[in-house]
Amino acid sequence: MDDPSDEFELKRRFDDSSVTSLPRAPLYASLSAGVAADPSLYRILLDAPPSQRLPVLLFASIHSLLLAEPTHPLADWYPNLRSVPRLPQNDELMPTFSAFVHDHLDEIKQLVSTRSTQTNEVGRSLLFLPPLGMITQEVGAVTMVDVGTSGGLNLLLDKFTYLYEPEDGSLASTVGASSTVSLTTSTRGTVPIPAGLPTIAGRLGIDANPIDVTNAEQARWLEACVWPDQLERFRHLRSAIELARIDPPRIVKGDLVAELSKALERVRPLGHPVVTNSWVLNYLHDSDRDAFMNELEHIGATGNLSWIAAEAPALTAGLPWPCEITENEQTQLLLTTWRDGIRTVRHLAQCHPHGFWMHWR
């Protein structure tokens, strides 16, 4: 990987972002192009840890401050802050953006140096629900341990409504009663959609830097990490945060590997334990991923266990991927079960990382 301390590498990352962001985030695409042309802007990321020197961290830091100051003229370009936003191609965007950044430079540098991007994407519950249904059909009530849980919002999976819409135009399937969080995905293949929501008898999250959704400033950081063009994601997140504030999920702060066994011991008496994770293990070093996998193997050898993972094979060496997809950077859905000490791995689907679509195998 190129050295993120290199200013040319930072410029390249913003240049790349201006292209890759365009389909779903035209505002960030325009801002990325503008930042790439201004060294005083992309150099701000030199204050961040090397692993976090990413365009999305700079934009999340600015977005967080703007959420707290929504009357600023820069908010006129943010679709989540204005009902009729200005177009990102407007010539006034970059001067307004640059002025905001330089007026808030100390605050932005503080954020990029201390924060990390955290995507508590509730749309991923759309991916977890079918395998959870398969497990509950087999074992009955389950417990969830969500690894890298951030604010723990996916632990509220049984409080959402789901709509699975086949790409071929056949009849859509709805799961769950009416909820303020209603999630939709496009499907291909025969997805085993459960008739109802699973019975989750216990739930616990683990995160190295958990978000307390009852704290307004911390919750705002979660909102800031959502791209402002993606209004539906933003609305879903805010609604899920409101649900979580009614009955906040329990989250343990600590190392994912060190806390895993203890967390499973806490929930196992309540029902069959299911570990979930999505776009978490790619942030671990190879040795830590190996340790995580070894811990799961050890736990599964001594008691029945299920594990649902939505990760990208090319970024998560060491997981039990089928050999033909190990270089794939798309999100893949795995269900691994340990029954009487025997491990079984099933490659279930290819998915969008935010749950927009899933192609069942």
Quick one: average pLDDT of 208-234? 94
Mean pLDDT of 349-361: 96
Q: How confident is the model at residue 82 (pLDDT cuts 50, 70, 90)?
A: very high
Average pLDDT rounded to a whole number, residues 188-217 = 96
DSSP 192-229: ---SS---EEEEEEEESS---TTSHHHHHHHHHTS-TT
Name the pairing type of β-strands 161-166 and 173-175. antiparallel
Determine contact, residues 184/175, Cβ cutoff 8 Å.
no
Q: Write the CA distances from 185 to 159, 174, 325, integer angstroms.
A: 17, 11, 23
Q: pLDDT tens digits, residue range 113-122?
A: 999 888 889 9
The type of residue at 166 is: P
In degrees and rounded to multiples of 5, residue 339 shows phi and psi of -130, 120
Q: Are strands 142-147 and 200-207 parallel, antiparallel or unpaired?
A: parallel
Query: Which residues lie closer than 8 Å to 280 by C-beta, 6 or more apart?
Result: 147, 148, 256, 311
Report the pLDDT averaged over residues 160-189. Answer: 96
In a domain, 223, yes or no: yes
**Does the pLDDT at position 5 exceed 70?**
no
Q: Is residue 179 part of a domain?
A: yes
Helix (H, G, I), strand (E, B) or coil at 265: helix
Average pLDDT over residues 318-343: 94
User: Of 59, 87, 114, which marks where a domain is finished?
Assistant: 114
Q: For residue 2, is it within any domain? A: no
The tally of CA atoms less than 13 A away on the side-chain side of residue 291 is: 12
The answer to whether residue 1 is domain-embedded is no
Q: Are residues 338 and 238 both part of a single domain?
A: yes
CA distance linking residue 97 with residue 104, whole number of Å: 11
Q: What counts of helices (H) and strands (E) characterise the chain?
A: 11, 11
Split at pLDDT 50, 70, 90, the class of 51 is confident
Residue in 52, 53, 38, 75 with CA at minimum distance from that of residue 6: 53
Contact between residue 161 and residue 174 where contact means Cβ atoms under 8 Å apart: yes
Report yes or no on 157 lying in a domain: yes
Would you state the pLDDT for residue 2?
61
How high is the pLDDT of residue 4?
60
Tell whether 191 and 219 lie within a shared domain: yes
What's the rounded mean pLDDT across residues 161-185?
96
Tally the domains of the chain.
2
Query: Are 108 and 127 in the same domain?
Result: no
Please say if the pLDDT value at position 304 is more than 90: yes
Pair (135, 262) in one structural domain:
yes
Average pLDDT over residues 296-313: 97
Residue 33, token pair as written in the block? 């192009």
Domain end residue (candidates: 114, 133, 152): 114
Q: What secondary structure, in 3-state letters, does 140-196 show? A: CCEEEEEECCCCCHHHHHHHCEEEEEECCCCCCEEECCCCCCEEEEEEECCCCCCCC
329 with 307, same domain?
yes
How many angstroms separate the Cα of 13 from the Cα of each of 92, 106, 212, 311, 319?
A: 23, 23, 31, 22, 28
Q: Report the alpha-carbon angle 199-200-204, nearest 5.
A: 175
Same domain (yes/no): 251, 292: yes
Of the listed ranges 31-45, 130-144, 297-311, 312-326, the least confidently predicted one is: 312-326
Q: Which residue carries 């135009």 as its tokens? A: 169
Query: Among 37-46, 110-119, 148-157, which is the least confidently predicted range?
Result: 110-119
- Is the domain of 203 the same as that of 267? yes
Q: Report if residue 70 sits inside a domain.
A: yes
Residue 20 lies in a domain: yes
pLDDT for position 192:
97
What is the span of the domain harbouring residue 350? 122-360
Q: Find out whether 348 and 335 touch, Cβ atoms under 8 Å.
A: yes
The one-letter code for the residue type at 249 is P
pLDDT at res. 24: 86
**Same domain, residue pair 88 and 234:** no
Last residue of a domain, one of 114, 132, 155: 114
Amino acid at 291: A
Considering the domain architecture, whether residues 165 and 280 belong to the same structural domain is answered as yes
Q: E strands along 303-355, which residues?
A: 305-311, 331-339, 342-351
pLDDT digits (tens, 9 = 90+) for 130-146: 999 999 999 999 999 99
**Sheet strands side by side (includes 342-351):** 173-175, 161-166, 182-188, 357-360, 342-351, 331-339, 305-311, 272-278, 142-147, 200-207, 251-253
Looking at the structure, do residues 78 and 206 belong to the same domain, yes or no? no
- Specify the pTM: 0.91
The string of pLDDT tens digits covering residues 227-268 is 999 999 999 999 999 999 999 999 999 999 999 999 999 999
Residues 51 and 153 in one domain: no
CA 182, 310, 153, 21 torsion: positive or negative?
A: negative
183 located within any domain: yes
Q: Roughly what angle, to the nearest 10 degrees, separates helices 26-36 and 93-103?
A: 70
CB 225 within 8 A of CB 271: no
Whether residue 125 has pLDDT greater than 70? yes
Same domain, residue pair 80 and 35: yes
**Token digits of residue 241:** 């945060």
